[in-house]
Amino acid sequence: MIWPDARSAGEALEAHFSIAPGDWERVTRKLTARDLEAGLADLAPAIVLLSSGEALAVASDGVVITPEGRRRVAHRRLRRLWEDPLRERERTQLAKLPVATAAKERLIAERIRSLDAATVIACQSPASAHFGAQLSTATFFRRLVSALVAHGAAYGLILLGWVMIGQAAFSGRWDEGWFWGWAVLLAASIPLDVYADWQQAWLATAFGGLLKQRLLASSLAIDSDKIRTQGVGELLSKVFESEALESLSLSGGTTAILAVVELAISGAVILAGSQPGLNAALLGGWIVVSGFAAVGFAQVRRRWMDSRLALTHSLVENMSGHRTRIAQQPPALWHEQEDSALREYEEYSARMDAALVRLSVLVPRGWLMLGCVSLSYSFAQASGSLTAGGITLGGVLLGYQALRRLTGGAAQLVAATQSWDIVRELFLTNRPAPAPDPGGITPSTEVLTARNITFTYPRREQPVLREVNLTIHRGERVLLEGVSGGGKSTFGALVAGLRLPSSGLLLSGGIDLATLGEQGWRRRVATAPQYHENHILAATLLFNLLMGRAWPPSPEDRKVADDVCRELGLGPLLDRMPAGLYEMVGDSGWQLSQGERSRVFLARALLQGAELVVLDESFAALDPESLEQCLETVLRRAPSLLVIAHP
């Protein structure tokens, strides 16, 4: 059960999941015995490194990969592996304690719950990995097959039970054995149904969790230029649709799959009844009709969703600019655009409701009526036996139930598919794995080197920058001036690594961005963007100041932050704030003036401790006295400086 070291356990997990070495992200945490009491289900797949240096390879809850193969081990047995050494150590330390043995054991049990029991290395697919690989690592597909098999078995047992009842009724011979056989089959289907429902609940939770992780990782990797071209309302719409995708995709897909299985069973039952060819053809034709109804619903719902998203986008944008509308637009025109959009939304909503009724109500009930008419025709023609007619009736009822489930699942799948169209770009945007900060390389005295830098915005023909060359050495202060729209801020964003040049070479300390990685570049180049692209987050002032440092901050970090703020002239502000650096600021906290915000942005850039500080129009909102004070502080604290300003 135990591997000699963590490396061997990791190789066993990689072989079990067919994962190539290095394709997993590993998160190492030291956990106490209390943390491990609940089990390893939320951590698996994981490597549990024991105090002895040996390790466990945990594939899932209770499933452990051993040198002999895959085994299911009770959690109480696993707990002993890390709790017994702690218990023996505590017994040795408390051996001379003059108390009863039972009381001593209770004390030891309580003490070891707070001690570090093991180092757990959780293994997970990186956010940039294929989503199928992430699902496979989470044992999603295996559990999906288990749920389908359990549901099919339960459905088959119920069907077999009713076959027994029907056989007894049509044969005219009824005895107690038929009843008890039927009861046993129904009772046997209950645990299968419970297991299938439990697996479906797990699947929904796991799928939603992985989807949210993927969307969060992808949203952090979106190109900033794309964010600028989208309004707040459009981004909010993507959030709403991602929530709909999570709630509808799995439930609709599972329901549709189960409905197809049930529909196939109902078709098999119909083939065993009277006039099988006619009734099977009717069922197949009605399934085609159901497909047309689903396509019509999808078309109407798409127009409804576009109208709703446009309404959401317009509402949010109008809320953001409401103060401007009050000042510059006549009150009689405030709601004209909203009223028109609401009327359009109401019209599409009515159409979608009608299409949904046709799909989810008329389709299954239409089949029920068609099947009953066919069955009545068979009775009128006296074709087939009474038993065959009863089997056909059962097939019609099973088809009705399957179509109800299928149309409901289809409606959910349509909604999930259209939500996917909205969030597809967000889902497929992946941030590459961070490059390690290269060691063993002697930094160059050139903190920044730009060679033949050219940059062209998307959907523009002419470059805004063409073959720009600049070298900044350690200790230099460079002032970059130019007319508005000349590309100064664009060049500042390139230097800060916020944009990538279309061509040319950009180095920091003689190393490029691809080698350093984003984190390594941020440690070398800090920037304070223009006012409209820089923000105060709804958090403490200290958090806003130390965003570029480790959190929570050390006492030294807090002292440096306080010193920089006071040097920049924010001392009176700190003295006014009841909580000082821990005062909540931003939209939901203490309101800062534009000049105070500018100085917070300056302090944030200086506190990153980078070799080069880029300031883009950072002094524009300051009065002459504050400007002189801030400039002295920046010149004193910044190792190298690039200031972008108007002439």
Q: For the ranges 267-276, 301-310, 316-325, which has the lowest average pLDDT?
A: 316-325
Q: What is the pLDDT of residue 544?
A: 93
Helices 594-607, 624-637: axis angle to 10 degrees equals: 10
Give the C-alpha distances (Å, rounded to integers) separating 141 from 23, 128, 147, 643: 19, 20, 10, 55
Give the C-alpha distances (Å, rounded to integers) separating 346 from 296, 337, 351, 571: 18, 14, 9, 55
Residue 542 has pLDDT above 90, yes or no: yes
Q: What is the pLDDT of residue 429?
A: 57
The whole-chain average pLDDT of the chain stands at 83
The arithmetic mean of pLDDT across residues 550-575, rounded, is 92
Q: What is the pLDDT of residue 440?
A: 47
Beta strands in 3-134 (DSSP E): 25-32, 46-49, 55-60, 63-66, 69-72, 116-124
Report which of residues 614 and 36 the model is more confident about. Answer: 614
- The candidate with the shortest Cα–Cα distance to 619, out of 633, 640, 636, 599, is 599
Residue 22 has pLDDT above 70, yes or no: no
Q: What is the pLDDT of residue 438?
A: 54
- 216-249 per-position pLDDT tens digit: 777 777 766 666 666 666 777 777 777 777 767 6
The arithmetic mean of pLDDT across residues 558-587, rounded, is 93
pTM: 0.64
Q: Please give the share of the chain, as a percent, with pLDDT higher than 90.
A: 26
Report which of residues 165 and 492 the model is more confident about. Answer: 492
Residue 634 has pLDDT above 60, yes or no: yes
Q: For the ranges 15-19, 66-70, 420-424, 572-576, which has the lowest average pLDDT?
A: 15-19
Residue 323 has pLDDT above 90, yes or no: no
- 510-531 per-position pLDDT tens digit: 888 888 888 889 889 999 998 8
Q: What is the pLDDT of residue 170?
A: 67
Strand partners, 30: 119
Residue 473 has pLDDT above 90, yes or no: yes
Q: What is the pLDDT of residue 430?
A: 53
What is the 3-state composition of the chain as percent helix, strand, coil, each rounded to the nearest 5? 60, 15, 25
Q: What whole-number distance in Å separates Cα of residue 560 and Cα of residue 539? A: 19
Report which of residues 188 and 443 the model is more confident about. Answer: 188
- 266-304 per-position pLDDT tens digit: 888 888 878 888 888 998 999 999 999 999 999 999 999
Q: For the ranges 32-46, 343-357, 388-402, 586-600, which has the lowest average pLDDT?
A: 32-46
Report which of residues 370 and 75 the model is more confident about. Answer: 370
- The candidate with the shortest Cα–Cα distance to 391, out of 273, 283, 279, 264, is 273
Q: What is the pLDDT of residue 252?
A: 73
Strand partners, 481: 645
Residue 636 has pLDDT above 50, yes or no: yes
- The candidate with the shortest Cα–Cα distance to 105, out of 130, 84, 87, is 87
- 97-134 per-position pLDDT tens digit: 787 888 888 888 888 888 888 888 887 776 666 777 77
- 138-156 per-position pLDDT tens digit: 778 888 888 888 888 888 8
Is residue 597 within 8 Å of 536, Cβ to Cβ? Answer: yes
Place 174 in a pLDDT band, splitting at 50, 70 and 90: low
Q: 270-284, 455-469, 555-569 — which one is most confidently predicted on average?
A: 555-569
Which pair of structure tokens corresponds to residue 409? 């699942």
Q: What is the pLDDT of residue 374?
A: 86
Q: What is the pLDDT of residue 569?
A: 94
Strand-by-strand arrangement of the 116-124 sheet: 25-32, 116-124, 46-49, 55-60, 63-66, 69-72
Q: 76-85, 97-106, 631-640 — which one is most confidently predicted on average?
A: 631-640
Q: For the ranges 72-76, 481-485, 493-497, which has the lowest average pLDDT?
A: 72-76
The arithmetic mean of pLDDT across residues 31-60, rounded, is 81
Residue 62 has pLDDT above 80, yes or no: no
Residue 433 has pLDDT above 60, yes or no: no
Q: What whole-number distance in Å separates Cα of residue 425 and Cα of residue 534? A: 25
Burial grade of 373 (CB within 10 A; 0-12, 13-18, 19 or more): exposed
CATH topology of domain 475-496+517-645: Rossmann fold (3.40.50)
Q: What is the pLDDT of residue 277?
A: 86
Give the C-alpha distances (Å, rounded to integers) separating 32 from 37, 56, 80, 460: 9, 16, 13, 57
The CATH number of 237-431, from 1.20.1560.10, 3.40.50.300, 3.40.250.10, 1.10.357.10, is: 1.20.1560.10
Report which of residues 216 and 307 the model is more confident about. Answer: 307
- 195-209 per-position pLDDT tens digit: 988 888 888 777 777
